[in-house]
Amino acid sequence: MVATNENPRPANTVQLLTAEGRFQPSETSAEYLPYLERLDENDYRRFYRDMVRVRAFDTEAANLQRQGQLGLWVPSHGQEGAQVGSARAAKPQDHLFPSYREHVVGMIRGIDPIGIIGLLRGTTHGGWDPTDPAVGNFHLYTLVIGSHTLHATGYAMGMKFDGVVGTGDPEVDAATIAYFGDGATSQGDVNEAYVFAASYQTPQVFFLQNNHWAISVPVSTQSRTPLYLRSSGFGIPGVQIDGNDVLAAYAVTAKHLDDARSGEGPSMIEALTYRMGAHTSSDDPSKYRSDDELAYWAERDPILRFRVFLEQQGVGQAFFDSADEEAADLAADIRRRTLELTSPSVASMFEHVYSEPHPLTEEQRRWFEDYEASFGGDA
Amino acid sequence: MSESKFLLPDVGEGLTEAEIVAWKVAPGEQVAVNQVIVEIETAKSLVELPSPFEGTVGELLVSEGETVEVGTPIFTVTAGGATAAAAAPEQEPEPAEQVASDAAATVSHEEEPKPGAVLVGYGSAGHGTSRRRRVTHPGTASIPVSFSGGIAPAPAAPASAPAAPAAASHAAPASAPTARPAGPVVAKPPIRKLAKDLGVDLTTVTPTGPIGDVTRDDVLREATQATVFRNIQTPEWPDDREDRIPVRGVRKAIANAMTTSAFSAPHVSLFVDVDATRTMEFVKRLKNSADFADVKVSPLLIMAKAIMWAVRRNPTVNSTWTDEEIIVHHYVNLGIAAATPRGLIVPNVKEAQSMTLLELAKALEELTLTARDGKTQPAAMSGGTITVTNIGVFGMDTGTPILNPGEVGIVALGTIKQKPWVVDGEVRPRYVTTLGASFDHRVVDGDVASRFLADVASIIEEPALLLD
Amino acid sequence: MSDVRSEAEYVEAELVETGQEDDASATDSTSLDTQAIDVVEIIESDPGSRVLEEHVAEQEWTREFVIDDEAAAAEGEDTAHHDTAHHDAQASAEVGEEAAAAEHDTSAEGDGSAAEPVAAAPEPRIQSLPMVKALNAGLRRALAEDDRVLIMGEDVGPLGGVFRVTEGLQKEFGPQRVLDTPLAEAGIIGSAIGLAMRGYRPVVEIQFNGFVFPGFDQITTQLAKMTNRHSGRMRFPVVIRIPHGGHIGAVEHHQEAPEAYFAHTAGLRVVAPSTPHDAYWMIQEAIESDDPVVFFEPMSRYWPKGEVDLVENPTPLHASRVVRTGTDATVVAWAGMVSVALRAAEIAAEEGRSIEVVDLRSLSPVDYGPVIASVQKTGRLIIAQEAPGNVSVASEVAATVAEKAFYSLESPVLRVSGFDVPFPPAKLEELYLPDADRILEAVDRALAY
């Protein structure tokens, strides 16, 4: 049940799969079940492959970091369910604004994950072109916590002004999703995004992955109330889901996106999940959290649960093997291409500082080229 | 079989070292890509390192418990088997440019590429102690004299500075000085100050600097030319019948002083011609010496020294007449007659007798500049004991100076110019000048006066006599 | 006074000549020297205004250029004429032609009110407007010419902005083009970024300069870097309008001059008009730029009137410009300080010194061409600003000029700035802010070298 001002504390988190993987919708998930009917067997398999692929990608990238190939890695390990489900609910015309951990969302929308590698290897601040249709309107990562939620809100305002909201045409009506974490909910920008979204009734879903930790600070320090309730204070209805349940993530996001596209305004989804890995490769979680907690969440791993569900649907071992193989191929491909990545050219530092020519940038670029040349070629 | 070395990476954004805690493999063992090979401890945490190579473990290069810097090779792997997941290290393309983004950018570019080279570990490896060698200089490109990089068309601005910037190499200094080009003067601020101090008009100086700038030598050259006073132009007769200038201020003071002096002290004047060639040579050598580089040196400086030397030998010329007694001073506050825009003033250099040549030169220069700026303090103009006046700068041969009230002697230095003179029995051109002096005959008789002036002349003729 | 008076005569002659040329050829009226016109400022404001007393005396001689006051007021109210005239280039030429012809008549009968009342009636090409109205006209024109231009900010709708700069715009263009936003600067700028990504050209108003800081993160970590992060594939044509400077007796945080923070940030362009004419044109050019532009509007110049040439503007957005010629020293200033510098130059002229004044106009990038040319001529540079001096735009200009014009300097580059203290209570602001005396003190110092 969605939280409203009249009923701010629904009894249950929305859940379709139990922790063990049995299909057993919770009471509060009734209104979302119809959205599952949009999915067929192929979709389910796709979800599984999505999750397995990104986990392999993640693991490989983590290894590459430990081998000195990346300065940093940002693992999404454990959050695949929330990300895959929500991403698969979005339509091509929707715009998605990630934070910096939504690797599989990008992959689903169409980015080449080597772009994420480049960002963390230090060859780019971008990694892909959000204006390229092949990239599925997946915007660049924003490393300042929460800033992008305002960009998503502004973009949604623009959609509304452009009249692509509430037309009734499923190919036209569009919405935005802003992804952010529990730590971000404390940032002023995120709260201002709620204010603006509510004021202008933007076609927008605020997708909050509560992975319980902001580096080493637990979510209890960020908030004294469940996070999904905070948005309702702004007039934005919120719902809490089991974020490791990929089906729940799909169904709830699908409904909320539909609502947004049809002009009902913004809403918020709090996906309860867990950051199984460190905040980044520079972090050491053993310093601040317990093995028990880790074990608790390991048992609720989104991939394991969904595998159980698929097995109950009759999916055979061959499929799982092929998924693993596909994932391993991806990992190997990433490894190979990572080692082949070249550094950006020196001149690129001076490109695209502005859209139009700027004399200071020009002057410095020229100076630097002369300076480099004065070392006589191969320095 | 190719051997690959694994270098300890920076695993935590700026870590510099780590301790090897536990090896998870042994030499000779087969190892797969990403297989954990070692556990290390960094400042931040305990970290497992996966192998980037597939093959047979060669050597473990660091022992457990040892701490090593980032970039240190810690183990080797010999590539084995056909299905190496990692590209052989030699085939790894070297990054195009090592564009490290922090202080460790001093990675020396002479280092050869290493297999599995750490690209992002900054650590402490590679803080070079040498700098990259320049092959060419960026040249004067960094010193644009004419700036043409405007965005809007410049309004009617004066033509850009003379002479395009020199070519890239500084090697060729400017050759023969070219004619003074049109446009604003190009000169460094210290040169401008020098010109101002020496009274040189920069717009008349021919620049010889590498970018068409006026150099120090250019200014000095201009300053030493032609000391003869020049009138610039002859004005027309004014329309008015007469000009009436009120008598006040400096003019009144001068009139009073002159009257007091002229009509209370009986003046007697003496003159002597002297060959000043050696003084001129001495002055030239002083100008070229490093010690005197920053100060004005002229024959007046030698005159001042000569006067003080002569005073030591003829003390009574350095005295004051009162009706009861003659006060002979055993110090010299040397008055210098200075022509300023407001008229003649005579500030004096206090205790000039105790100054070295350099100190005296500086004192004279400062005194002159201060007077020219009109900033001479009254205290500087009182207490003088003897005065020198340089009328040579006006082109005069000599004159009959009037005593500064309170003094009994005043010496006039005339123009120094080449004249025929007899040297060793032959007529030769020599720098000749006439020294003139006036004395108060109440104190100084003809013999003392003559001896004093002769002593001054002997220094002018042979400055080496100052080496007492 | 003699220098300035002769400039006035020069301008008048130009106008007459231009008019004669236009009689012959119907189209091109480009020869008018609007540069000199910008020097001409007519200061009129509410009686009792402190600004009025200070400026009236020095500006007496400029009154010959005032178009009849009532007609000017009527023109200011009549918005429709502006749009239709400007859409048609041919009509513009006709406007220029007729306006130039109208200029001959010094009793100023040649204003729009004497012409036909039809919508296409040519209006005077040159109008006397306060900067607020000039900005309003510029914004109106931008909104009319491009559907993607939006105005957003606190109180910009029915109130028309606390300084009335956006007055009437929401009524004309609707609440979807002119948006009142919630009170949240980060929100305003962040959502403007999102709108820009969607293809809009948002013009954001920050209500008071001291309040830009809640949005500072969105401006510097996001907006400034977006183009670079996106490798140029997306444009971020956001204009951020910020009132600037002091002299209006306001309370804390309302009289800041924070341009240095933004000029220091690569990816932003920063400009500051000093006259209504510049404001009218620069706001339009800023909106047309595909880059983020921080647009400072000097509050002390909001209400004094100046001549605006509504047809032509020869000076590009990022150009600096000599607004008074001289030979003894150069004073560089921008925004509210330009008129102070001009006043100082007037006083200096009476003392027999000739000061050249350069209006920098653009703080990032800085157009050094005219500045360096001026220093090569005069040999002495004084930079005057309202902002505190430590680590300021003047510091940067001083260092750059010292480097690029080293050989032309007869004195060290001097800066005249606000003191490095928090902006004081209003009773002290006239002591804090550099005035003509402080500029002249620096000029004296420079000339003493």
Mutate to test the interface with B, among C372, C410, C413 (most CBs of B within 10 A): C372
**pLDDT at residue number C52:** 41
List, in order of start, the domains of chain C with CATH numbers. 4-26+34-110 (no CATH), 129-309 (3.40.50.970), 321-448 (3.40.50.920)
Same domain, A161 and A108: yes
**Which residue of A124, A147, A155 is in closest CB contact with C221?**
A147
Residue B105 has pLDDT above 90, yes or no: no
Residue B95 has pLDDT above 50, yes or no: no
**pLDDT at residue number B97:** 34
**pLDDT at residue number B222:** 81
Contact C195, A158 (CB under 8 A): yes
Same domain, A372 and A230: no
Output the six-digit token pair for B258: 């002159």
Q: Is A354 on the interface with B (CB under 8 A)?
A: no
Contact C184 A356 (CB under 8 A): no
Q: Which chains touch B (3 or more CB pairs under 8 A)?
A: A, C
Its ipTM equals 0.91
Q: Which of B137, B267, B329, B441 is catalytic?
A: B441
Contact C365 A125 (CB under 8 A): no
* pLDDT per position as a tens digit, A71-82: 999 999 999 999
Best mean pLDDT range from B77-91, B106-120, B337-351: B337-351
pLDDT band, residue A377 (cuts 50/70/90): low
Give the whole-angstrom CA distance, residue C290 versus residue C238: 8
Burial (CB < 10 A; 0-12, 13-18, 19+), residue B323, is: exposed
Residue C98 has pLDDT above 70, yes or no: no
Q: Which chains touch C (3 or more CB pairs under 8 A)?
A: A, B
Q: How close B97 comes to chain C (CA, Å)?
A: 20
pLDDT band, residue B118 (cuts 50/70/90): very low
Least confident of B162-166, B367-371, C146-150, C329-333: B162-166
The helix (run of H) or strand (run of E) holding residue A150 is helix A147-162
Question: If we measure between CA atoms, which residue out of B245, B47, B41, B211 comes closest to residue B139?
Answer: B211
Three-class SS state of B351: coil
Which carries the bigger pLDDT value, residue B161 or residue C221?
A: C221
Same domain, A334 and A350: no
* pLDDT per position as a tens digit, B133-171: 888 765 544 444 444 444 443 333 333 333 333 333 333
Same domain, A264 and A164: yes
Mean pLDDT along residues B185-211:
86
Q: Is A195 on the interface with C (CB under 8 A)?
A: yes
What's the total number of domains in chain A? 2
**pLDDT at residue number B128:** 63
Residue C13 has pLDDT above 50, yes or no: no
- Annotated active-site positions of C, please? 254
Contact A44, A313 (CB under 8 A): yes
Contact B11 A373 (CB under 8 A): no
Q: What's the pTM value of the predicted model, to 2 decimals? A: 0.69
Mean pLDDT along residues C123-145:
95
pLDDT band, residue A137 (cuts 50/70/90): very high
**Domain segments of chain B as ranges:** 3-131, 249-467
**pLDDT at residue number B233:** 64
**Which residue of B145, B149, B158 is in closest CB contact with C407?**
B145
Give the whole-angstrom CA distance, residue B348 versus residue B345: 10
Mean pLDDT along residues C44-56:
40
Instruction: Work out the percent of chain C whose per-residue pLDDT is above 90.
Output: 67
Q: How many CB pairs under 8 A join B and C?
A: 76
Give the whole-angstrom CA distance, residue C267 versus residue A12: 48
Residue B225 has pLDDT above 80, yes or no: no
Contact C319 B152 (CB under 8 A): yes
Instruction: Work out the percent of chain B whose per-residue pLDDT is above 90.
Output: 45
The CATH H-level superfamily of B249-467 is Chloramphenicol acetyltransferase-like domain (3.30.559.10)
Instruction: Give the per-residue SS3 of chain C.
Output: CHHHHHHHHHHHHHHHHHHHHHHHCCCCCCCCCHHHHHHCEECCCCCCCHHHHHHHHHHHHHHHHCCCHHHHHHHHHCHHHHHHHHHCHHHHHHHHHHHHHHHCCCCCCCCHHHCCCCCCCCCCCEEEEEHHHHHHHHHHHHHHHCCCEEEEECCCCCCCCCCCCCCCHHHHHCCCCEEECCCCHHHHHHHHHHHHHCCCEEEEECCCHHHCHHHHHHHHHHHHHHHHHCCCCCCCCCEEEEEECCCCCCCCCCCCCCHHHHHCCCCCEEECCCCHHHHHHHHHHHHHCCCCEEEEEEHHHCCCEEEEECCCCCCCCCCCEEEECCCCEEEEECCCHHHHHHHHHHHHHHCCCCEEEEECCEEECCCHHHHHHHHHHHCCEEEEEEEECCCCHHHHHHHHHHHHCHHHCCCCCEEEEECCCCCCCHHHHHHHCCCHHHHHHHHHHHHCC
Residue B390 has pLDDT above 70, yes or no: yes
**pLDDT at residue number B116:** 36
- B127 a catalytic residue: no
Same domain, A227 and A354: no
Total count of residues recorded for chain C: 449
Residue A299 has pLDDT above 70, yes or no: yes
Give the whole-angstrom CA distance, residue A80 versus residue A245: 9
Contact B148 C369 (CB under 8 A): yes
Mutate to test the interface with A, among B21, B54, B97, B148 (most CBs of A within 10 A): B97
Nearest Cα residue in chain A from B137: A374
Mutate to test the interface with B, among A282, A335, A360 (most CBs of B within 10 A): A282
Instruction: Work out the percent of chain A whose per-residue pLDDT is above 90.
Output: 89
Residue A110 has pLDDT above 80, yes or no: yes
The helix (run of H) or strand (run of E) holding residue B447 is helix B446-461
**Which residue of C182, C195, C197 is in closest CB contact with A195?**
C182
Residue B26 has pLDDT above 50, yes or no: yes
* pLDDT per position as a tens digit, C193-219: 999 999 999 999 999 998 999 999 999
Mean pLDDT along residues C295-311:
96
Q: How close C266 comes to chain A (CA, Å)?
A: 7
**pLDDT at residue number B210:** 84
Question: If we measure between CA atoms, which residue out of B5, B6, B12 comes closest to residue B123?
Answer: B12
**pLDDT at residue number B167:** 36
**Which residue of A132, A151, A361 is in closest CB contact with C190?**
A151
Q: Is C408 on the interface with B (CB under 8 A)?
A: yes
Same domain, A154 and A207: yes
Three-class SS state of A62: helix
Mutate to test the interface with A, among C231, C240, C404 (most CBs of A within 10 A): C231
* pLDDT per position as a tens digit, A279-294: 999 888 999 999 999 9
* pLDDT per position as a tens digit, C166-194: 999 999 999 999 999 999 999 999 999 99
Which carries the bigger pLDDT value, residue C372 or residue B185?
A: C372
Residue A316, domain extent: 3-340
Least confident of A53-62, A256-265, B30-39, C233-242: B30-39
pLDDT band, residue B127 (cuts 50/70/90): low
Contact B87 A339 (CB under 8 A): yes
pLDDT band, residue B96 (cuts 50/70/90): very low
Q: How close B98 comes to chain A (CA, Å)?
A: 8
Give the whole-angstrom CA distance, residue C79 versus residue C71: 13
Same domain, A100 and A65: yes
Q: How close C186 comes to chain A (CA, Å)?
A: 6
* pLDDT per position as a tens digit, C377-436: 999 999 999 999 999 999 999 999 999 999 899 999 999 999 999 999 988 989 999 999
- Annotate A190-228 with DSSP letters as a single string: HHHHHHHHHHHT-SEEEEEEE-SEETTEEHHHH-SS-HH
Same domain, A329 and A374: no
Question: If we measure between CA atoms, which residue out of A67, A120, A63, A337 comes closest to residue B7?
Answer: A67
Q: For residue C410, which residues of chain B lie inside 8 Å, CB to CB?
A: 189, 192
Same domain, A315 and A353: no
**pLDDT at residue number C291:** 98
Contact B128, B99 (CB under 8 A): no
- Domain B3-131 part of CATH 2.40.50.100: yes
Contact A352 C235 (CB under 8 A): no
Mean pLDDT along residues C312-341:
96
Q: Is A125 on the interface with C (CB under 8 A)?
A: yes
Average pLDDT over all residues of chain C: 80
**Which residue of A126, A147, A353 is in closest CB contact with C267?**
A353
Residue B369 has pLDDT above 90, yes or no: no
**pLDDT at residue number A373:** 87
Cross-strand partners of B273? B434
**Which residue of C181, C182, C217 is in closest CB contact with A144?**
C217
Give the whole-angstrom CA distance, residue A150 versus residue C197: 12
Same domain, A141 and A279: yes
Same domain, A373 and A282: no
Same domain, A312 and A356: no
Average pLDDT over all residues of chain A: 94
